[in-house]
Each structure stands twice: as C-alpha cells, then as structure tokens.
Amino acid sequence: MPLEVHIVTPEREVWTGPAEMLVARGVEGEVGILAGHAPMLVQLAIGPLRIHEEGGQLLAAVVDGGFLHIGTHEGVTRADVLATQAELESEIDVDATRQRLAELEAHGELEETELEAVKREMQKAQARLKLAG
C-alpha cells in the first residue's frame, strides 16, 4: 500500500509525491507516518518535515504550523500537509532569513500582542536556518 504526500499552502502546491515515510513535528511531539497508517489529524508546530522518498532519498521542508491530515482512499494512504507557509530546504534563502531574524531581534519594547507576533516570526526564521544548516 503506497503513501502519497501532498504539501500545500494557500499560494501553491509545494511538493507532491510518493514516500516511504513522513516525519512531522506536531504541537505535542513528532509523528511518523507510514503507508497503511490509521486516519488522523495533527496540529503542526513550526518546524521541519522529513520525507523519506522511495529509494532512500531524504527530502526536507519547513512549515509554519498548520495541519497534517492522514486518510486512505482505494488502498492508498494520503498525507496532506496544509500550512500557511512551507518551503523545501532548497528554497530557503539563508541570507534573507538571517537578515529578517536580526531585524526581529532588534525590536525594542513591544505591546503584548506585537510581542507574540514577533516571537512567532522569530521561531519561523530559526526553524528555516536550522533546516538550511
């Protein structure tokens, strides 16, 4: 029974293809998905996705939260990653991400609502840099 992975955002389909395994970071910890997995819905945290492609290659991406939905249709296990933003490792602009992180760190005194937004943006930038190396 195959595993089909779809990573999508409101703007685009980031990646689609067959996989042996998908590993994602949920808000309650990591989850690994193999073909034949039971249906489930996971709230994703800001962090990496690791797709073990057929043939042993590893594809990495980073998502800014969202949801992972697992379902089965006609014997095929389908993993849908639905995220506000997602990037493959090869798409990450390390210099721009470092610059954005520096800008966020330079913020002075902020209102509580602004502080939460800045913290989330910093988490996103740090996740991208960690993935990109």
Choice between 74 and 15, residue whose per-residue pLDDT is larger: 15
What is the domain range of residue 11?
A: 3-90
Q: Look up the CATH number of the domain holding residue 15.
A: 2.60.15.10
On whether both 77 and 124 belong to a single domain, the answer is no
On whether both 112 and 67 belong to a single domain, the answer is no
Query: How many helical (H) and strand (E) elements, i.e. helices and strands, does the chain have?
Result: 2, 7
- With 90 as the cut, is the pLDDT of residue 84 above it? yes
On whether both 63 and 123 belong to a single domain, the answer is no
Beta-carbon contacts of 19 under 8 Å, excluding residues fewer than 6 positions away, are: 3, 4, 5, 51, 52, 53, 54, 79
Q: What is the pLDDT of residue 2?
A: 80
Q: Rounded to whole angstroms, how far apart are CA atoms 133 and 129?
A: 6
On whether both 73 and 99 belong to a single domain, the answer is no
Our count of domains for the chain comes to 2
On whether both 97 and 80 belong to a single domain, the answer is no
Q: What is the pLDDT of residue 27?
A: 96
Q: What is the pLDDT of residue 34?
A: 96
On whether both 84 and 63 belong to a single domain, the answer is yes
Burial-class residue 68 by CB neighbours within 10 Å (0-12, 13-18, 19+). buried
On whether both 68 and 51 belong to a single domain, the answer is yes
On whether both 79 and 21 belong to a single domain, the answer is yes
pLDDT digits (tens, 9 = 90+) for 14-67: 999 999 999 999 999 999 999 999 999 999 999 999 999 988 899 999 999 999
- Predicted TM-score (pTM) of the model is 0.85
pLDDT digits (tens, 9 = 90+) for 103-125: 877 876 667 777 777 888 888 88
